Copies of this chain bind each other. A is one copy, B any other.
Amino acid sequence: MLGLLRYSSAFADAAPEILPLATARGRVLAEDLLSPVNLPPFDNSQMDGYAVHGDDLDGSAPLYLAVAPPVPAGAEPVALEPGHAAPIMTGAMIPEGAAAVVPIENAVPSQFPTTGQYCGEEGLTVELPVAQAGSFIRRAGSDLEAGSVALVAGTLLGPSQLGLLAACGLATVPVRPRFRVLLLSTGDEVQEPGTELAPGRIFDANTTLLTTALEEAGAHVQRHSVVADNPEELRGALQNIGGQVNLILSTGGISQGAYEVVKQALADSSVEFLSVAMQPGGPQAIGTINGVPFLGFPGNPVSALVSFEMFLRPALGTVTGLPGNRVCLPARLTEDVQSPEGKHQVRRGLYTDRSGQGEGIGDVTLLGGPGSHLLHALAASNALVHLPAGTGTVEAGTPVAVWLLGELRQGAQPLHPGNPTREALT
């Protein structure tokens, strides 16, 4: 599977997309990015306080210094003279000559003079304790030096990563293109939602199910309308795909029936039709069509989703750099289960975290039976439950491996460290 997707040279060789930071959330960085600036860009104050000259740092008694003009953040300050202390704000540039900052709360008075008194005419004086050289100064480049790597290629771009690029002054970011999938649902019985259901027919769940799953995994999906059980129509739909997509994915029509449209349409192509020892999701098709990787999943919705989770999602993650592996946890079955020994059975269930009750392992309750049409039960599930080949009867209480579908929601938050309390107003 991985080899097949890597074969998709159109993806591996595609040029990066250049995106504004605001639209790059959840994308993957295409190349190493160097910072054009130091972070911080200049020596600056960590606190609201007074900048003190280097000549005034040695001594043991309190300092009595003349109050110099203040240094707001965003300004380029004048040099500080010995014997003077400049009110300086958090983030403001350290004036030339200054060697330390004393926080305002350690000064006497511990409030800045009002603006009107700052002109120097009044000869204001402030009393400060002795300060260590460099104290409360953030040095230029101490977080990140100009010219060094801010983020490496392959980084998943979330709030902190994009925030960092903004801090570096970058307005755009090169990201890997999305992996593009052409999705086709097949079958005479399959009908678009939003229409009147004809006798013997069912609504197409697979297009919505797999589009959503693929998009959640970071892919771009080109949806095709439902293809009837007509090999000519399917071959027509696959004409002229060329390099426009990285994968063609179909559902249905690959099993042992008399009308298997995908099997019939692709009988003479480089596609293999096989059976894996998995339930649901046994029938599978894999190969290439005109050089484009192709996968054929079975048509029942649960089979299609299990096939996606077991085979395609992990491979997509490896190829694209986006998260592909589900979180895997042990959980105790809440009932006895019977699994076909020759197959890897994947059941659906509700995982319950028990760490709130001081237990190290959660429970999982199976929802619905093994049937691959039980979409309502799947929609109520938050986990896939694995009963590997060689497993027959499993008794209640036995730990099994579960994959979490989506975010782990912790009920009791037992490890929540508690909220900070309000401090006395300072």
A164–chain B nearest beta-carbon distance, Å: 4
Q: Which residues of B contact A87 (CB under 8 A)?
A: 258
A426–chain B nearest beta-carbon distance, Å: 5
- CB distance A201 to B74 under 8 Å? yes
- CB distance A40 to B93 under 8 Å? no
Binary per-residue interface labels of chain A (89-119) against chain B in the complex, 1 for a CB within 8 Å, 0 otherwise: 1111100000000001100000010010000
Q: Which residues of B contact A162 (CB under 8 A)?
A: 208-209, 212
- CB distance A415 to B159 under 8 Å? no
- CB distance A274 to B425 under 8 Å? yes
- CB distance B256 to A48 under 8 Å? yes
A190 CB–B CB distance under 8 Å: yes
A275 CB–B CB distance under 8 Å: yes
**Chain A interface mostly:** loop
Residue in A75, A115, A207, A379 whose Cβ sees the most chain B Cβ within 10 Å? A379
Interface set of A (CB-CB < 8 Å, partner B): 21-22, 25-26, 37, 39-42, 46, 48, 70, 72-77, 87, 89-93, 104-105, 112, 115, 138, 143-144, 150-151, 156, 158-172, 187-190, 192-195, 197, 199-213, 215-216, 223, 229, 255-259, 273-278, 282, 299-301, 305, 310, 323, 325, 327-330, 342-344, 360, 368, 371, 373-379, 381, 386, 388-389, 401, 405-410, 413-426
- CB distance B138 to A371 under 8 Å? yes
The answer for the CA separation of A310 and B166 in the assembled complex, in Å, is 23
The answer for the CA separation of A115 and B264 in the assembled complex, in Å, is 14
The answer for the CA separation of A407 and B406 in the assembled complex, in Å, is 9
- CB distance A216 to B159 under 8 Å? yes
A to B CB contacts below 8 Å, 28 in the list:
A39-B373, A46-B373, A70-B258, A73-B187, A73-B200, A75-B188, A104-B256, A143-B375, A143-B377, A163-B208, A163-B209, A163-B379, A164-B375, A166-B209, A167-B193, A167-B205, A168-B203, A170-B193, A256-B426, A275-B426, A276-B423, A277-B423, A325-B416, A327-B408, A344-B420, A388-B417, A388-B418, A401-B417
